[in-house]
Amino acid sequence: MTWLLELAADPAERPAVMEALATVVAGDSPQAIRQQTIAAVEQCAGIMPDTAERVPRVGTTAQGPSLETPKAFSPPVTEQGPVNRHPWEGVLTGVTVGEFATGSGRFLATAVAQGMRGEWMAEPDPEARELAMHNCPGVPTVFESIYQVDPVAIPWVHVLLGGACCQPFSRAGKQQGWHDERAYTTIRFMHNMGAMQPWMAVSENVRALLTVKGGRVWQVIKGSLQHLGYAVNPVKVCASR
């Protein structure tokens, strides 16, 4: 999957790549992907030593030791732990975040305000980049464009943010989908996910992304991310709220 996304960097190869991706994701439903994962785990478990066969269960009866009765075990009583514990609690370095297509830096500034540590941002527009640097003054690395950095060379972060170009999908435009050159920002986002494997990602776009081209564009995006091992959850947010 990551290899196909890398090939999409070449505009001449992109139409064939997107057709290939559509074919790949159409062949595997989320349930099929889950079954493939379970099968892989079972295969790994099958080559591990069968400790259950080699370690007898020893207990005690009136007649002496028994191999049939397992040893009784009572877990120790402990105090109630803290509720609402998040996966990132206990990360000594703090949760890191990077953003491509940063714009004015509002998303990144919000993440930093919530306690994350900004590692890098990328914004091709000079004026927007200057504003983002003002809004996120503590971010140490600033790229003029995410395209200038190979996905495998981007500093790893726990959370990847970004707002890919919406013009190829918006109802206000021609809705050309993958045929619009600006759609490559979305493809590059998926490529970054495959190469970096962050804990999670948040990407903002227009609502029409779910329905453009009869939903086939969204099918490729969702299916590709699922193949990369991520759960995908689109959330519709009212822009006026």
Q: What would the pLDDT profile of 42-57 be if each residue is shown by its tens digit?
A: 766 665 555 444 444 4
Domain ranges of the chain: 2-37+94-227
Partners of 122 in beta bridges: 143
Output the pLDDT for position 54.
44
pLDDT in tens, 102-118: 999 999 999 999 989 99
- The model's confidence at residue 96, banded by pLDDT at 50, 70 and 90, is very high
| Average pLDDT taken over every residue of the chain | 81
| Higher local confidence (pLDDT), 45 or 152 | 152
Q: What does the pLDDT read at residue 171?
A: 80
- What band does 58 get if pLDDT is binned at 50, 70 and 90? very low
Q: Where are the alpha helices (DSSP H) in the chain?
A: 2-7, 14-27, 30-46, 51-54, 106-113, 126-135, 184-196, 216-227
How sure is the predictor about 128, in pLDDT bands with cuts at 50, 70 and 90?
very high
Q: What pLDDT, on a 0 to 100 scale, did the predictor assign at position 56?
A: 47
Question: For residue range 202-215, what is the model confidence (pLDDT) as tens digits?
Answer: 998 888 888 888 88
CA distance 105 to 42: 45
Q: What is the pTM of this model?
A: 0.70
Q: What is the pLDDT of residue 240?
A: 63
In this prediction, residue 205 carries a pLDDT of 84
Report which of residues 70 and 10 the model is more confident about: 10
Share above pLDDT 70 across residues of the chain, in percent, rounded to a whole number:
77
Question: What's the CA dihedral at 22, 169, 194, 163 to 10 degrees?
Answer: -170
Please name the residue that has the structure tokens 């953003």: 99
Can you give the pLDDT at residue 174? 82
Taking CA 197 as the corner, what is the angle to CA 8 and CA 82, rounded to the nearest 5 degrees?
150
Is pLDDT above 90 for 139? yes
The confidence score (pLDDT) of residue 157 equals: 94
CATH 2.130.10.10 is right for the domain spanning 2-37+94-227: no
